[in-house]
Amino acid sequence: MTQHSPAPVRFGVVGSGWRSSFFVRMARLMPERFTCTGVVTRTAERGAEVEATWGVPTVRTVEELVTGAVPGAGAAPDRPELVVTGTPWPVTPDVVRELVDASVPVLAETPPAPDVDAMRALWADVGATGLVQVAEHSPFLPVHQARKRIVDEGLIGAATSVQVSSTHQYHAIGLARRLLGVGRGPVTVHAREFTAPLVDPMNRHGWTDATEPTDARTLLATLDLGGGRHVLYDFTDNQWHNPLRANRVVVRGSLGEVVDDAVTRWVDPRTQVTSRIERRMHGIEQDMDGFDLMHLSFEGRVLYRNPFVGARLADDDLAVAHLIDGTGAWVRGEAPPPYPLADGMQDHLLGIAMQESARTGQPVTTSAEAWADA
């Protein structure tokens, strides 16, 4: 559950790309909870654009950001409590190192390093510091938090497998691993890639007005996590945005299963019941309190309650808000780490293994890396 401190969580951002905008937007929508102290941009020209469109000060260097040397700071340095890295994959490890060298807690965008060698090197440099979290927001979506509650309460018995056809690579793996509660040991991956025609009506930039199918790749993979637990991964190009491909998440256990919002479970030898995770929304029909998620419930009790009511956030934005809030609480010693670097490393390691298996047509078994027992 998200912890809320009275004072806003103060964070800086390195990078001014698409993902960085998600974090800055949370500060703009909820200034009582979050403050973006500044954004590092490579050029003054880009800085001027960010200041005009995002409404936050910018600087050119990490040093300026972490020391509070931002325009308009006045006599009191505008120091962040933590810094989010929204930088290109090859750049992120060096930014993380620079922040850790300055003893600043880091929330590193996914993945924390581009490949296995880079992850090993980064872990050797910063892993022991305990200063780095990873901005893996997928498990913090409200419905995934509700599913996790159902699993943790044992309503479907011991969780044994997850099928995820929703998001890609490390995001999907991070979600599956969290739902199963598994560690970071060796994993055997079998993957295959297929191509089939699919109309793509929408992408990140909006409607495409496409009328003809084009070739879309689908990656199917199984991940044997050991102990009888496994993951089935199924993702098609642009599945996040394509309205012709729905999300599907299945969690199977020894006493039942969760299929999207339907929970089927064993009650006694001759009784099995199915109930649904129900979403309570404001703003429907004559409800004039504004469109907002209120809570998710199951059989009359609340599994997830939205702590950000009034900001009118989509589920993905709610996940980002939870991540910043949880990281701020961790920095202040009020909550456990939301997503440690070791987990981000493991997620990406398995994503790389899926790609390798699909490329070679052979199974790939990962080793226990240095972060396995962190």
Q: Which CATH number is 84's domain given? A: 3.40.50.720
| Nearest-angstrom CA–CA distance, 352 and 51 | 37
Across 296-310, b (16+ Cβ under 10 Å) vs e yields: bbbeeeebbbbebee
The answer to whether residue 229 sits within a structural domain is: yes
Q: State what percent of residues in the chain have pLDDT above 90.
A: 93
Quick count: other Cβ atoms within 10 Å of Cβ 109? 26
Chain position carrying tokens 């973006």: 36
Closest CA to 83 of 138, 128, 135, 48: 135
H helices of the chain, in order, are: 18-29, 44-54, 62-67, 92-101, 116-126, 142-152, 169-180, 315-331, 341-360
pLDDT tens, 214-251? 999 999 999 999 999 999 999 999 999 999 999 999 99
Report the Cα 203 to chain-centroid distance in Å: 20
Q: What is the mean pLDDT of residues 306-331?
A: 97
Which token pair is 223?
């991940």
pLDDT at residue 74, as a whole number: 43
Residue 86 CB-density burial (10 A; 0-12 exposed, 13-18 middle, 19+ buried): buried
> Same domain for 170 and 301?
yes
CATH code, domain carrying 232: 3.30.360
The answer to whether residue 125 sits within a structural domain is: yes
Task: Give the SS3 label for residue 37.
Answer: strand
Q: What is the mean pLDDT of residues 289-308?
A: 96
> Same domain for 60 and 146?
no
The residues pairing with 161 across neighbouring beta strands, listed in sequence order, are 230, 252
| Nearest-angstrom CA–CA distance, 84 and 87 | 9
> Same domain for 158 and 29?
no
pLDDT > 90? residue 69: no
The answer to whether residue 369 sits within a structural domain is: no
Cα separation values, 160 from 101, 230, 241, 266, 363, Å: 41, 7, 29, 15, 21
| Nearest-angstrom CA–CA distance, 106 and 15 | 13
> Same domain for 212 and 246?
yes
> Same domain for 233 and 282?
yes
**Under 8 Å CB-to-CB from 64, ≥6 apart: which residues?**
38, 40, 70
The answer to whether residue 339 sits within a structural domain is: no
**Whether the model pTM is above 0.85:** yes
Radius of gyration of the chain (CA): 21
Mean pLDDT, the chain, whole residue set: 94
| Nearest-angstrom CA–CA distance, 241 and 224 | 29
**Under 8 Å CB-to-CB from 20, ≥6 apart: which residues?**
13, 39, 84, 86
Q: What is the mean pLDDT of residues 120-126?
A: 98
CB 261 within 8 A of CB 169: no
> Same domain for 51 and 117?
yes
Closest CA to 160 of 225, 89, 247, 64: 225
The residue segments making up the domain with residue 75 are: 9-135
HSE value, Cβ hemisphere, 13 Å, CA-based, for 51: 16
How many separate domains does the chain show? 2
| Nearest-angstrom CA–CA distance, 97 and 251 | 37
The answer to whether residue 344 sits within a structural domain is: no
Report the Cα 169 to chain-centroid distance in Å: 11
> Same domain for 304 and 289?
yes
The residues pairing with 14 across neighbouring beta strands, listed in sequence order, are 40, 85
C-alpha triplet 118, 120, 126: angle, nearest 5° = 95
pLDDT tens, 87-119? 999 999 999 999 999 999 999 999 999 999 999
Task: Give the SS3 label for residue 262.
Answer: strand
Q: State what percent of residues in the chain have pLDDT above 70.
A: 96
Report the Cα 270 to chain-centroid distance in Å: 40
Chain position carrying tokens 């029909």: 285
The answer to whether residue 151 sits within a structural domain is: yes
> Same domain for 171 and 277?
yes
The answer to whether residue 365 sits within a structural domain is: no
The answer to whether residue 360 sits within a structural domain is: no
pLDDT > 80? residue 71: no
| Nearest-angstrom CA–CA distance, 26 and 36 | 9
HSE value, Cβ hemisphere, 13 Å, CA-based, for 2: 25
Task: Give the SS3 label for residue 239.
Answer: coil
pLDDT at residue 288, as a whole number: 86
